[in-house]
Amino acid sequence: MTQPSDADRVSSFILDLYGGDPYAHVRDASNEHRETHGPDCGVYPSDPIKMRLISTLIRASGAKRILEIGCGLGYSALWLAEASGPDGHVDTVDRFPEHVALSRQYAAEAGYSDRLQVIEGDGADVLTTLSGPYDLVHDDAWFAKEPPYLDRMIELVRPGGLIALSNWFLLEDAVTGKPQMDWSASAGPDWADHVQAYARKLAAHPQLSLSFVLRPWLALAVKTP
C-alpha cells in the first residue's frame, strides 16, 4: 500500500479540524464516475480545502447569487449552495447530461434542489442566456486555453464581485516544465504556452484585480468598479 504524501497528511489534518468533508461521498462518486464515463468526461472534483476557502469568502462577502461553470457531479456546487445559505441561489453549468442528472440527484439528497439549479449546455452558449449580476463566479471548466466565455463571465459579475478560477495547478506544471501528466492529449501540444498566456491576460485585465493562491491552486479576481 502506498504511503500518503506529506501534503496529503497535512490536508487530512486540516480537514479533521473542519470536522471532515461534508460532501466526501460526492467527491468519491465523482472519481469513480470518471473511471467509467469515458475519455472526455473530465470530472475531477474540486479540493475540499479550496472549497472551504471559497466558502469563507462567500460568507465574508455575503455573496448570494453564484454562478459556476463546470458542475461535474455537483461536488463544488454543494459547497457553494451551503455557504450562500437558504436565501442564496447557485446556477451551475455542465455540458454532459450524465453529469447534470447525477448532480441534480446529489443536490436533492442534500436538500438544495430549490436553490441549486443545474443547467445543461456548453458554458459559452449557456452564459449568453443568463442574466447578471452574480456576486461570485466559480470557473471549474477552464483547462489550459483561454475559455471562449471569458468576456461574458466577467460581464455577468457585479463590480466588486469575485471570480474564483480553479485548475491553476497547471501554472506550476507550465512554468516548471514538469507536468504531473502529459496534458497535450487533452489540451493540445501548446498547453503550457496557453496557460501562461491566460495567466498574463487575467493579471493584466483592466477589469480585474487578481491574486494567485498556491496549493490548493486558485486564482481569485475582484471585478473592479
* Least Cβ distance, residue 30 to ligand SAM (angstroms): 5
DSSP 17-65: HTTS-TTHHHHHHHHHHHHHH-TT----PPPHHHHHHHHHHHHHHT--E
Residue closer to ligand SAM, measured from CB, 70 or 88: 70
Residue closer to ligand SAM, measured from CB, 6 or 40: 40
Asked if 70 interacts with ligand SAM (CB under 6 A), we say yes
Residue 88 CB neighbour total at 10 angstroms = 21
Out of 65, 95, 104, 223, which residue is the one contacting ligand SAM (CB under 6 A)?
A: 95
Candidates 169, 133, 153, 196; CA nearest to 47 is: 169
Burial per residue of 60-79, b for 16 or more beta-carbon CB atoms within 10 angstroms, e otherwise = eeebbbbbbbbbbbbbbbbb
Asked if 75 interacts with ligand SAM (CB under 6 A), we say yes
In Å, what is the CA distance from 116 to each residue of 2, 25, 171, 196, 221? 38, 18, 31, 33, 23
Asked if 55 interacts with ligand SAM (CB under 6 A), we say no
Out of 50, 63, 96, 171, which residue is the one contacting ligand SAM (CB under 6 A)?
A: 96
Residue closer to ligand SAM, measured from CB, 101 or 160: 101
Return phi, psi of residue 180, to 5°.
-70, -25
Asked if 112 interacts with ligand SAM (CB under 6 A), we say no
CA distance 145 to 2: 34
In Å, what is the CA distance from 171 to each residue of 62, 71, 220? 30, 22, 14
Asked if 46 interacts with ligand SAM (CB under 6 A), we say yes
Out of 21, 29, 33, 43, which residue is the one contacting ligand SAM (CB under 6 A)?
A: 43
**Residue 49, burial from CB neighbour count under 10 angstroms (0-12, 13-18, 19+):** middle
Q: Mark 125-144 with x for binding to ligand SAM (rule: CB under 6 A) and - for no binding.
A: ---------------xx---
Asked if 48 interacts with ligand SAM (CB under 6 A), we say no
Asked if 120 interacts with ligand SAM (CB under 6 A), we say no
CA distance 22 to 3: 24
CA distance 146 to 139: 12
Residue closer to ligand SAM, measured from CB, 77 or 192: 77
Residue closer to ligand SAM, measured from CB, 135 or 149: 149
Scanning 42-50, 172-180, 189-197, 205-213 for contacts with ligand SAM by CB under 6 A, the matching segment is 42-50
Asked if 67 interacts with ligand SAM (CB under 6 A), we say no
Q: Which residues bind ligand SAM (CB under 6 A)?
A: 30, 42-46, 69-73, 75-76, 93-96, 99, 122-123, 140-141
